[in-house]
């Protein structure tokens, strides 16, 4: 059996697919990833074959700017988001992606929820497709905008849209959008904090001394302009800080600190969560779900993309305190951190969500289900 995973070429979309890809390989399935060739280093540690096709994220941003006049680096609108995922990615990647997939001949395509190239390729090849949800279900307004663009592309390509055969949902019910109803194709899939191949799952191990705070703004948003003012305010509290650098910064970019601040280069989230008591984050789905999987409460300071939605869902669930986009003064964020550390209820809610996640089918169980279903249509 051959399973082709398909993803937008950035860490936050590729990494949530890895647990299922690893589980399938462990069960003897041939696995490959369809994404931009520039994203291959993300998959090198796992030795997963990359079928390089399509544009990089910066090239997609440039294409959206060319076609709509909107600069995604300066903010996200529903229309620009839809153009990025359901317009530009297909325009700049479908032809090459189809050719690569056709040669590799998959029996199943597994796509993350914002990847529309994989499902289009699956429709063209006549193979089943599974979609992995990587956070709360997409808002109705975005679904409508995605749908408009997809209808035009499918019509131009001469292929027929088909619903997914399986929707593999990693979002616990406490974080899901209110009023959302599970589709018939729904199956649960346990979310995991990203870990290196062979690394154990993340464990909640409270620090023995001062509370330890993981400050993680993902791979793209950990700039000194965003994080430095927060660090300054956090040091007024009796805490130790582990601050991630992401992919865009280095230690010398930040102000000199004392021994209470540890700067951490890019590393698997499971490693970074070790010993943490609370997480301050931008609210990326991977960080939010990874922290909740081990029962850690959060303070969420969204910067863009799907982060405001995740932030609101964390706050509504009671697993942390969140801010609105652009409305997070550092002093207020520090006070929120103090409140989360002082009030046990936030951790209690996070641990309750962690129990729900633990009861969700594992990647190994879902891999077996998919293998059996594909063998016996």
Read off the pLDDT of residues 238-264 as tens digits, 9 standing for 90 and up.
Answer: 999 999 987 777 888 888 778 899 998
Q: Residue 207's pLDDT is what?
A: 55
Q: Of 344, 298, 343, 338, which is closest to residue 321 (Cα–Cα)?
A: 298
Which pLDDT belongs to residue 190? 96
**DSSP conformation class of 283:** -
Low-confidence stretches of the chain (pLDDT < 50) are: none
Query: What whole-number distance in Å separates Cα of residue 112 and Cα of residue 76?
Result: 20
Which DSSP symbol is given to 83? Answer: I
- Taking the C-alpha atoms of residue 295 and residue 349, their distance in angstroms, rounded to an integer, is 8
Residue 257 pLDDT: 77
Two tokens, residue 148: 């408009």
Distance (Å, whole) CA 113 – CA 183: 14
Cα 177 to the chain's mean position, in Å? 16
Q: Report the length, in residues, of the chain.
A: 377
Q: What is the pLDDT of residue 368?
A: 96
Least Cα distance to 296 among 234, 211, 208 occurs for 211
15: left (phi over 0), alpha (psi -120 to 50) or beta: alpha
Structural domains of the chain, with CATH: 2-191+360-375 (3.40.50.2000), 212-358 (3.40.50.2000)
Phi, psi of 32 (to 5 degrees): -140, 165
0.75 surpassed by pTM: yes
**Rounded to an integer, what distance in angstroms lies between the CA atom of residue 215 and that of residue 14?**
22
pLDDT of residue 198: 62
pLDDT value of residue 208: 60
pLDDT on residue 195: 85
Residue 102's pLDDT is what? Answer: 97
What are residue 5's DSSP bridge partners? 33, 110
Element (H, E) at 151: helix 140-157
Could you tell me if 61 and 73 are in contact, meaning their C-beta atoms sit under 8 angstroms apart?
Answer: yes
Residue 108 φ/ψ, nearest 5 degrees = -155, 140
Q: What is the pLDDT of residue 202?
A: 52
pLDDT of residue 133: 94
Label the pairing between strands 261-264 and 240-244.
parallel
């Amino acid at each position: 059996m051959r399973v082709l995973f398909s993803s937008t070429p950035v860490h936050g979309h590729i990494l949530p697919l890895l647990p299922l890809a690893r589980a399938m390989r462990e069960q003897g399935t041939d696995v490959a990833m369809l994404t931009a060739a520039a994203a291959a280093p993300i998959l090198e540690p796992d030795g997963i074959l990359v079928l390089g096709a399509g544009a990089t994220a910066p090239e997609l941003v440039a294409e959206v700017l060319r076609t709509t006049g909107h600069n995604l680096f300066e903010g996200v609108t529903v229309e620009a988001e839809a153009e990025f995922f359901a317009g530009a990615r297909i325009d700049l990647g479908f032809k090459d992606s189809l050719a690569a997939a056709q040669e590799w001949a998959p029996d199943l395509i597994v796509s993350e929820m914002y990847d529309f190239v994989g499902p289009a390729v699956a429709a063209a090849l006549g193979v089943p497709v599974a979609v992995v949800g990587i956070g709360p279900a997409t808002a109705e307004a975005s679904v409508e905008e995605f749908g408009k663009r997809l209808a035009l592309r499918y019509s131009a390509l001469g292929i027929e849209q088909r619903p997914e055969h399986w929707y593999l949902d990693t979002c616990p019910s406490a974080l899901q959008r209110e009023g959302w109803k599970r589709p018939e194709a729904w199956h649960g899939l346990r979310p995991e904090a990203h870990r290196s191949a062979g690394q154990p799952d993340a464990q909640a191990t409270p620090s023995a001394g001062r509370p330890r705070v993981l400050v993680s703004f993902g791979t793209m948003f950990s700039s000194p302009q965003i994080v430095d003012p927060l660090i300054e305010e956090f040091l007024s509290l009796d805490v130790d800080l582990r601050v991630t650098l992401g992919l865009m910064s280095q230690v010398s970019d930040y102000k000199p600190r004392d021994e209470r601040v540890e700067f951490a280069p890019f590393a698997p989230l499971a490693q970074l969560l070790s010993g943490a008591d609370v997480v301050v984050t931008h609210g990326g789905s991977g960080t939010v779900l990874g922290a909740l999987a081990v029962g850690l409460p959060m303070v969420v300071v969204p910067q863009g993309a799907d982060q405001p939605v995740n932030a609101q869902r964390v706050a509504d669930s009671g697993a942390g305190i969140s801010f609105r986009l652009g409305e997070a003064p550092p002093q207020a964020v520090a006070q929120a951190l103090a409140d989360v550390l002082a009030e046990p209820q936030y951790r209690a809610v996070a641990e309750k969500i962690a129990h729900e996640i633990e009861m969700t089918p594992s990647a190994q169980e879902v891999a077996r289900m998919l293998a059996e279903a594909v063998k016996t249509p």
